[in-house]
Structure formats: structure tokens, C-alpha cells
Amino acid sequence: MKKNNEFNAIEFRDDNLILIDQTKLPLCEEYIHTDDYERIAVAIERLEVRGAPAIGISAAYALALAFKKYKGKIDERFVKVHIRLAATRPTAVNLFWALNKMKECFINIHDKENLYTKLLQTAKEIHEDDISKCEAIAKNGLEIFSKKSVVLTHCNTGQLATGGGGTALNIIKKAYQKGLVKFVYADETRPLLQGSRLTAFELEKNGIPFSINTDSTAAFLMQKGMVDLVITGADRVAANGDSANKIGTYNLAVLAKHHKIPFYIAAPTSTVDHECPDGDSIKIEFRDGNELTFIRDTPITKSKYTSFSPAFDVTPAELIAGIITEEKLCKSPFKF
């Protein structure tokens, strides 16, 4: 039986993938139980599961589950499922990293009799690897604290976004436990409110003092000297350190630079795309305009109005004080 402050964002049990439905949080804690790869693909697209590492892990399990009971043409099936999963979210590089790991596994399996078992083992290894990376990121992230600090964060980078304890939010949690974090400001993160729904949910679960604020309040907080440092995650880091993260992150980096506040990114090395030279080469996902004009099923303006809704923006490397990975705290010039 789970304690009140415990939850599993991603779990594989009894040959089913179990995902907490993040679209229902924080008001309702519901779980999706499935062994259908298409249902998992839809969950990724709907943001029922989200966060770059979590997307990659879920896709790995989905690819394995596609062969749980399948008896047809294996090669054609693999290509079809791989293409379907790769099409779900274009910006998060962990998705493609995990799918490539699964592809390598598939190619190297000569005896296809136990295909599901072998693919599933690789998916579990990807999951376990992320758990370890989350802990190492948190440990390395403690280096950025020189005093008990007030932290501002954006979007959600905790247990809900990964297979383990999280990236940026895991650093905040570990730092709080060591007396290095005084308070957290969580941007609400429009349009889907991952901050006010998901980060707030995790901060409450961990007993960390916090408040939520509109994204545009960050400037006021910095102007009044109420923020010591900013930590966010990333969905793709280019080879030069330019980093794509939830829309609104670039705003924070510019504000932090102006107010002489250090801005950090936390992400596993699987988020670094060595084939991507810089931020201009990162493909930005655009979302359905209804995500901007509706909150859940409630319209907040006229749905006929045209909306512009990129899911991510790119923060130039020169605005980033450091990128915290499981290997080390990287500083400019960034070399991974």
C-alpha cells in the first residue's frame, strides 16, 4: 500500500505498462493500464505521459509490448511500430535515443523465438538507466548551491517527467533535504499548466514550501530580488549547448541574465543530440491551438481565434550558467 506522498509515474507490472494520467493531475490521481503500443503512442501525444526521459522509456516499453502476442511478419511489424512511436513527439531527443536502443537490440536478436522477452529486457534496462541518471544528476546539482536559496523553476522536471526521481526538480528535492533550498517558485507554464498542476503536485508530495505564479511574474520576482537561481530541464540539447525546453524557458534565461541570476539546465546525457550542431537545427513541435484557447474542456476565449502555440523554445548556450548531467556540471564552452 502506497503512503500518501508516494506515487509511480511509470511502472511495468504483470506485462502491462502503468502510467499515471498526467492530464488529470493534481485533482485526480488515475492510472492507465495497457499492453497496447498504440494506446501508449496516444498517451504520449495527449501528454498523458510527458517529459523527455519518460517519453523515451514509455516508447521503449511500447515497442516491446507490440510483440507480446504477435505472430505475424516480425520485420514489417517492427518498422511499422517504430515509425508510429517516432512520430508522436518531434522535439524530445530521448524518444529517438530510446527507440534506437530498441532497434539495436532487435537487429542483434538472431533467435526471434523469445523476441518479446529480449526487447522487454532492453526496455527495462533503459528504465533502470534513467533511475540511476536521475540520482547522479541530483548529486551533481548540489554543486550549484552556495547558500540556502530560493529557486524558480519552469514546467515539470520531476518524477512525472522521468523514470526516476527527476532532473531539475530532483536537484531541488535533494537540496531541500540538505537544507540548501528555502522556497520554490513554480511557473504555471502555459498553456497546459505543467507547473501549477504537476510541479506543484510533486512539491506538495515532498513537503517543500512553494507557491505557483504566472509565467510573466518571473520578471517581478527577479526585479525584487526574490530569486537566487533558476533551474529547468531540457528536451533536447544541441552539441554547442543550445537547449530546447518548454516554451517560456528562453524568457527566463534572458531575465536571469539581465538580473545577474544564474540559470541552469539539468538533463541526462541522452538528451544531448550530438548530431545537432546548434539550436537552429532543433525541430520545434507546434501544438493544437485548442490547448491555448481551452483549459481542459472549458473555452477561455473564442475557439475561432487564430493561435500560435509552439511547445518549446531554444535557449542559447551563452545564457546558460551550467548544464547538469549525470556525469558532471558542464560549463561553457560546453563539451559533452
Give residue limits of the domains in the chain: 10-135, 140-330
Least Cα distance to 59 among 50, 70, 72 occurs for 50
pLDDT, tens only, 145-168: 999 999 999 999 999 999 999 999
pLDDT, mean over the chain:
96
pLDDT in tens, 59-83: 999 999 999 999 889 999 999 999 9
| Cell 511499422 sits on residue | 80
Cα(312)–Cα(332) distance, rounded to whole angstroms? 22
Give the class (CATH, top level) of 10-135: mainly alpha
Give residue 4's pLDDT band: very low, low, confident or very high (50, 70, 90). Answer: low
pLDDT in tens, 130-140: 999 999 999 99
pLDDT of residue 1: 42
List, in order, residues 6 or more apart from 152 with CB less than 8 Å away.
184, 185, 186, 187, 218, 221, 222, 227, 229, 230, 231, 252
Q: How far apart are CA 271 and CA 238, in angstroms?
A: 9
| Residues marked as catalytic | 235
Q: What is the pLDDT of residues 213-250, one digit of tens each?
A: 999 999 999 999 999 999 999 999 999 999 999 999 99
Can you give the pLDDT at residue 92? Answer: 87
Identical fold for domains 10-135 and 140-330, yes or no, is no
Quick: pLDDT tens for 9-32.
Answer: 999 999 999 999 999 999 999 999
Asked: is 140-330 a CATH 3.40.50.10470 domain? The reply is yes
